Amino acid sequence: METLPGCRPLVPEAAALRSGTDDPAAAASRTCDRIDAVDPHVRAFVPEPDRRARLLGAARELMAAGPSHPAHRPALYGVPVGIKDIVHVEGVPTRAGSTLPPEVLGGAQATVVDRLRAAGALIAGKTVTAEFAVTAPGPTRNPHNVAHTPGGSSSGSAAAVAAGMVPLAIGTQTVGSMIRPAAYCGVVGFKPGYGRIPVDGVIPNAIGFDTLGCYATDVAGVALAASVLCDGWRPEVADADTHADADTEAAAGLCAAGPARRPVLGVPVGPYLERADDEALHAFREQRERLGAAGYTVREVPVMADFEQIVAQFFTMNRYEVARAHADWFARFGDLYRDETVAAIRQGHSIGDADYGAARVRRAAFRERLAADGKDAGIDVWIAPSATGPAPADLTSTGSSVMCLPWSNAGLPSVSLPAGRSAGGLPLGLQLVGPSGADEELLRAASGIERALNGN
């Protein structure tokens, strides 16, 4: 996997911090130095004048509080983490990519941040989001080519990891806001199954779909983070396929359960897959061939013949929920919202309770049908392009989320792996999607697929 200079893999950085060969103050200084050097070009972080003083203070407090013995240090001890700016962090304002007064948007610290801090992580700062995690892009640029979008809405989180500013960042996905930026920026993005990480303390986009996730440079990194963040993590399932060291395996709950059976991979042929452009489909064929050569069974499965209706059902629910989430703020500060967000809210105002209820019924039927299609075909993991193609050369858009839409609609766990480059040298991603409740199995499968894609 090609990475940018300065890339910071999470697993070795966390291991060094826990062992004492590195220390939190040094990690904090390194992070601030990198942000100072790189972020004027990438603009992944929300500006924070006192970032260095705040972060170094937090690092020194962590070191003073202990524990001093490496064996007793938590999994993310001293690791700097970027937090999408719709997630409340005590002591750091939430702006949600908007011009609304920050005091209006404030709230109690999110559970996901509580879990990070309990695991010893340092909050490096807020990462840029599209306004209210809808579609109006922030100022972030793609680290691989600053004329191109990093995707959205978790643009800053993906770009911050890709540019080596932090080894771990938190984002959210409603449609494709984790997976698409991961593909565009050439990092690993993990969107757990719906509800696997509590979303309290997160400004909602659409409550029926909003899901917290994380970015790292490899599967081992997102597995380590997932073990800290996800409810009910099952270490007996997520085994040592991630090739982590022994200390990290213990910290992440990754235990050797013997050789894993290669999962059967399903290709969702039909109108959904046809939404990808020629370059993405060509790369996807090459990825399938590489996986087949590595011993994976890859099956084509006709699904989602009614894809247009699935898209309509999704956005009926989504826009209805967006409008309700912003009912109070929009009534008071509607003139401060950007045009793209206004359009989404106004579309939601036109959708009545009966249409929303009918869309919920159609979604439940879609989930059941998709699960049955996978089971009948003997599929363990669906594979598809993470995005319709490489990152567009357009900073006024975050790109199309359509390749993520059905999986988000079904609430399924998904991962984007870096998988080659476009003709123009931009990253491409392979999307892996697991069954409901199979987050651990998905990450275990992703580890093996990551190695196969990299020729290992």
pLDDT digit string, tens, across residues 50-72: 999 999 999 999 999 988 889 99
3-state helix/strand/coil string of 56-68: HHHHHHHHHHCCC
128, 139 contact by CB (below 8 A): yes
The 10s digit of each residue's pLDDT in 333-361 is 999 999 999 999 999 999 999 999 999 99
pLDDT, residue 261, reads: 83
Cα–Cα distance between 50 and 28 in angstroms, integer? 13
Q: Residue 45 pLDDT more than 80?
A: yes
Packing angle, helices 339-349 and 307-325, rounded to 10 = 100
Q: How many CB atoms lie within 10 A of CB 282?
A: 15
CA neighbours closer than 13 Å in the CB half-sphere of residue 124: 34
Give the active site residue among 155, 177, 386, 447: 177
Determine whether 177 is an active site residue: yes
> Locate tokens 């020629």: which residue?
278
Q: What percent of the chain has pLDDT over 70?
A: 94
Determine whether 401 is an active site residue: no
CA neighbours closer than 13 Å in the CB half-sphere of residue 139: 11
77, 14 contact by CB (below 8 A): yes
Mean confidence (pLDDT) of the chain: 94
CA neighbours closer than 13 Å in the CB half-sphere of residue 33: 7
Three-class SS state of 371: helix
The span from the first CA to the last CA of the chain, in angstroms, equals 11
Q: How confident is the model at residue 5 (pLDDT cuts 50, 70, 90)?
A: low
Which tokens hold the place of 398? Answer: 């975050």
Closest-CA residue to 432 (of 145, 199, 125, 183): 183
Bridging pattern class, strands 427-433 and 80-84: unpaired
The 10s digit of each residue's pLDDT in 104-140 is 999 999 999 999 999 999 999 999 999 999 999 999 9
44 contacts: CB under 8 Å, gap ≥ 6: 82, 127, 128, 140, 143, 150, 155, 156, 157, 159, 160, 163, 165
Which tokens hold the place of 297? Answer: 């069974």
pLDDT, residue 6, reads: 74
Which tokens hold the place of 307? Answer: 């894809």
Three-class SS state of 127: strand
Range 33-46 average pLDDT: 98
> Locate tokens 């099952």: which residue?
234
Q: Which of 67-81, 168-182, 238-252, 375-389 has the lowest mean pLDDT?
A: 238-252
Largest CA-CA distance found in the chain, in angstroms, rounded = 60
Determine whether 84 is an active site residue: yes
Sheet holding 381-385, edge to edge: 122-127, 80-84, 168-173, 211-216, 188-191, 414-421, 427-433, 381-385, 265-269, 298-302
Cα–Cα distance between 276 and 404 in angstroms, integer? 11
Three-class SS state of 190: strand
| Bond preceding residue 67 cis, omega within 30 of 0 | yes
Percentage helix, strand, coil for the chain under 3-state DSSP, each rounded to 5: 45, 15, 40
- Show the CA angle centred on residue 383, arms to residues 378 and 384, nearest 5°: 140
pLDDT, residue 327, reads: 98
Cα–Cα distance between 202 and 299 in angstroms, integer? 38
State residue 419 phi and psi, 5-degree precision. -150, 70
Q: How confident is the model at residue 87 (pLDDT cuts 50, 70, 90)?
A: very high
Give the active site residue among 153, 154, 414, 447: 153
Give the active site residue among 84, 408, 416, 447: 84
β-strand partners of 127: 45, 84
Q: Residue 254 pLDDT more than 90?
A: no
Q: Residue 163 pLDDT more than 60?
A: yes
201, 109 contact by CB (below 8 A): yes
249, 11 contact by CB (below 8 A): no
pLDDT, residue 330, reads: 98
